[in-house]
Chain A
Amino acid sequence: MIAPKCNERPVISFQQVWKTYPNGTDALRNICLTVPDGDFLFLVGASGAGKSSLVRLLIREEKPTHGRLLVHGQDLGGLRRRHLPHFRRQVGLVFQDFKLLPRMTVHENVAFALETLGESRRVIELEVDAALDIVGLAGMARNYPTELSGGEQQRVAIARALVHRPSLVIADEPTGNLDPETAWEITQILSRINAEGVTVLMATHNREIVDAMRRRVVALERGEIIRDHRYGTYDEAPAASALRVY
């Protein structure tokens, strides 16, 4: 286990957080986790381990039952509803099912996030072009999501998550619906974003990618953190088999 560096300002801080659902199930138990600014963290665990519950707490879709959860220094448990939009503008979200709007073009899907914030047309054009450039889709701005492959759709979703320049990106199983090669590409894009200083938290059950990246790994089991390694692998013992280099 590792301890967070004390001199780093944490972006995320779980302080003895519990999440109990109305039916009495403890989805998260006594979670203590600190994610410093600029970190890249894999959140791993089997289905039902608590990954999704943890992500839902992080984007304040739900509140902790006990304990404190701070993101960018804001206590999400006590965050008022009227402050929630402002909080969410500091976070970029990427989902397994992409969540693209099929009736909008690639450009419109990415621009949508900025339109929601009331940005001017000029700013929207500049930022959307920049975000599509980062994910390598500058030439597909006029295409519709249905005309794209799964990997391309996920890249659009990443561009949308980045377009408002968040300091934290939370990716919930972003490679879950992708083939291994595309999954690797998506992870590389997230890694490049992280190299620019953006904190990335990626929930995944993709063993090969976690083992190949050798980044911080937090493993959940039955709602508890069972492992937190700085250069970890998916399993306790590093996988013997080497990952194919793409």
Chain B
Amino acid sequence: MKLLRRARYAFTSAWQNFWRNLGVSVAAVVSIALILVLAGISLLLGHALGQVLDTYQQRVSVLTISVADDTPLSAVYDFEYQLRQRPDVVSVRFISKDEELKNFSSDPRNQQLIQQMEGNPLPAKIEVRAAHLDDVKRIDAVARQWRGADRNDPTDYQGDFITNMLRLSTWLTVAGLTLLAILTVISVVIVMNTIRTAVYHRRQEIELMKLVGATEWFVRGPFVVEGVMTGVIAASLAVGLLLAAYRPFVERFQSELFFLPLSYDPRFVPVLAQDLLVAGAVLGAVGGYVSVRRFVRL
């Protein structure tokens, strides 16, 4: 019961303090909301870019091995079995010469070529899906050593493309994390300054609380709650702004900003809202906790 009463006190006190210093509180909410809007934009861009990269990665993480025409079917099955046993292989599919010709013929762009072709010059293929992009290189090396592979064109491995894609992915992750870290630090500093102002206004009250036997957490609680309150209100504002602008912005600028991977994904909206609200709450809590720490030490 005491815990409940203390929690109620922390919430009531934080709420009163938020309204009592309304000017400072609103300034903090707006500043943090703007930072969270920036964070949200970077998340949306990151998500769109991630989708593009995923599509490419899925495409290039499939290695196609061309099978030499004179390879016995038993050797193909043996190799297929060997590949299936590897932990870095997700799936293996054999495509016979006939099936490959059928696939080739079904593409309208190949109709002229089909008419000029004699017999079936297309090789049988083994399609291997790698678990990760960086596994493709190892699987390619194994495929090239296999005797049944076509000597002239054993695989469709695009080494440079994969290396560049891995490098790009790493750089984008690092850049995204750096940007988020900078935005986090700025938000914490803003929350800290807001709460410090509140602490300064209530220093006499804090002093008294300590003298009459309040615990550190009893004194600190309202300020941490106030930080969370500020962060969540700011995050709600940021989410509202982003949701209102997301679809119209993408539709308006998709063609003009062709160099940016703009796309509207309604499934990402709840994820974005949740991330920003949690971020706002955590930033607020950390800011509140740090700013009041020095004042409440008994």
Contacts and interface: CB of A to CB of B under 8 A. Distances in A.
A120 B9 CA distance: 11
Nearest to A160: B212
A89 B212 contact: yes
Interface stretch (A1-9, A15-23, A110-118, A223-231): A110-118
A81 interface: yes
Contact of B5 (A82, A93, A99, A118): A118
Given A84-B298, A101-B204, A113 B1 contact: no
A59 interface: yes
Contacts of A87: 213
A164 B2 CA distance: 16
A116 B298 contact: no
A141 B231 CA distance: 37
B212 A113 contact: yes
B211 interface: yes
Nearest to B205: A101
B203 to A, nearest CB: 11
Contacts of B298: 81, 84-85
Interface in A76-97: 81-82, 84-89, 93
A85 B215 CA distance: 6
B4 to A, nearest CB: 9
Contact of A88 (B3, B9, B213, B297): B213
Given A118-B2, A118-B5, A120-B1, A112 B208 contact: yes
A222 to B, nearest CB: 28
Interface string A107-132: 00000110111111000000000000
A89 B1 CA distance: 19
B290 interface: no
B295 interface: no
Q: Which 10 A-B pairs have the closest CB atoms?
A: A89-B213, A88-B213, A118-B2, A116-B214, A113-B212, A85-B213, A85-B215, A84-B298, A118-B6, A118-B5
20 contacts: A81-B297, A85-B213, A85-B216, A85-B218, A88-B211, A88-B213, A99-B211, A112-B212, A113-B212, A116-B209, A116-B218, A117-B212, A117-B214, A118-B2, A118-B5, A118-B6, A118-B9, A120-B1, A164-B212, A164-B213
Interface of A: 59, 81-82, 84-89, 93, 99, 101, 112-113, 115-120, 160, 164
